[in-house]
Amino acid sequence: MWLLPILLAVGAAERNADLVLRLQRRDPRALAELYDRYGRLAYALILRVVRDVGAAEDLVQETFLRVWTRSRAFDPQKGAIGPWLLAVARHRAIDYLRSADGRERNSVEFEETDHPSLFTGMEQRIPASDRARRVQAAVEKLSASQRQVIELAYFEGLTQTEMAERMGQPLGAVKAWVRAAWRNLRHQISTAEASA
């Protein structure tokens, strides 16, 4: 479930090319359309990282403001706006966690299941993208430890040393899991793409 925001953004490049041009021309309706497409995903991703509803709402606004102000520098020929927006959201959330305010607010954690309404029906909206299915299948083949280190690195921006402390595992084990996870993901995805 943690990879869902990324999977939802995969494969939308064609329908977003016009949207990017409209954003660059400062069309406010384009920003509203961008929010309609990615607002809920950005919120779910940020909330997963910061674990604070109020902070997540603020960070979503900051994310869309940053995308709006920097859209002229975005080149739709080099990538899709959905993954870029989600990367901005993730970076804003991690920056928040690293700030003093974020650490103070984040001292009490909650389970993802405390807010199941965030994820209701999202599975039905996963694009029918072969690449998204390949990525999801590759992630599912990772061991629990490998998935956990990828999640900690992606959603919380933890270093390998911080992961080892959080997991109560030796640093060498964490490093091995990270290397194995990336190697396995690359292998699974390239094998699936070669046979497609």
pLDDT tens per residue, range 172-196? 999 999 889 888 888 887 887 777 6
Q: pLDDT at position 101, please? A: 60
The DSSP output letter for 118 is: G
CB-CB contact of 24 with 71 (8 Å): yes
| 93 in the same domain as 26 | yes
pLDDT band, very low/low/confident/very high, at 159 (cuts 50, 70, 90): confident
Degrees, nearest 5: CA angle 59-60-63: 85
Instruction: Tell me the pLDDT of the chain averaged across its residues.
Output: 76
Residue 46 has pLDDT above 80, yes or no: yes
Q: Is the pLDDT of residue 79 over 80?
A: no
Q: 121 and 64 share a domain? A: yes
Assess whether 52 and 144 both reside in one domain: no
The domain in which residue 192 lies consists of 128-196
Supply angle C-alpha 115, 120, 126, rounded to 5. Answer: 125
17-31, 50-64, 122-136, range with the lowest pLDDT: 122-136
Same domain, 190 and 151: yes
| CATH code of the domain containing 24 | 1.10.1740.10
Specify whether 74 is located in the same domain as 20.
yes
Q: Is the pLDDT of residue 11 over 60?
A: no
Identify whether residues 91 and 116 lie together within a single domain: yes
Q: Are residues 19 and 81 in the same domain?
A: yes
Q: State whether 93 and 135 are in the same domain.
A: no
pLDDT tens for each residue of 103-149? 555 444 444 433 434 434 444 444 445 666 777 788 888 899 988 88
Distance between CA 144 and CA 6 in Å, rounded? Answer: 19
pLDDT above 90: residue 61: yes
> Where among 109, 125, 141 does a domain terminate?
125
Give the pLDDT score at 62: 93
Same domain, 134 and 165: yes
Radius of gyration of the chain (CA): 18
Quote the tokens at residue 161: 């040393």
Domain end (from 81, 102, 125): 125
Same domain, 121 and 170: no
pLDDT at 45: 87
Query: What total number of domains does the chain contain?
Result: 2
At 15 the pLDDT is 59
- DSSP designation for 5: H
Residues 28 and 120 in one domain: yes
CB 130 within 8 A of CB 11: no
* CATH at 176: 1.10.10.10
